[in-house]
Amino acid sequence: MPQDLAGLQAVVLSALEELKAVDVTVLDVSQLTSLTSVMVVASGTSSRHVRALAESARDAAKAAGYPVLGMEGDSGAEWVLLDLVDLVLHVMLPQTRALYRLEDLWSARPGRPKAEQAGDGV
């Protein structure tokens, strides 16, 4: 059964905003992968904050009736991934986020040079 993606996204973004997530980015990856439709990337100010942001989003999604497939990385909490089927949330420490640059990776469009993609604003 398809999820209400807009509703799920609103629940996740609200949970992140409530706990003061930093630099929240929403990426539509539906044309790049069949695994999920949207990726949300956010930063926390400490390992404890990263974990709390992911847990808050998970709990809010569950309370709203959305399925939670799993949460990974919460033990070290440098990078916590929350799989909500059609939405995947990545919460990271700023240095981890700078290292992996997920926004750059998932903004790439197949068959186009990187320089051409840079001005797209995607």
Q: How confident is the model over 39-55, as pLDDT tens digits?
A: 999 999 999 999 999 99
Average pLDDT of the segment spanning 79-99: 96
Evaluate if residue 120 carries a pLDDT over 60. Answer: no
Q: What is the DSSP letter of 20?
A: T
DSSP 61-100: HHHTT----EEE-TTT-SEEEEE-SSEEEEEE-HHHHHHH
The answer to whether the CB of 40 falls within 8 A of the CB of 25 is: yes
The answer to whether the CB of 15 falls within 8 A of the CB of 64 is: no
Evaluate if residue 37 carries a pLDDT over 90. Answer: yes
pLDDT-above-70 percentage for the chain? 85
Q: Can you state the angle between helices 47-63 and 5-18, rounded to 10 degrees?
A: 140
Q: How does the average pLDDT of the chain come out, rounded? A: 88
User: What is this structure's pTM?
Assistant: 0.84
In this prediction, residue 104 carries a pLDDT of 87
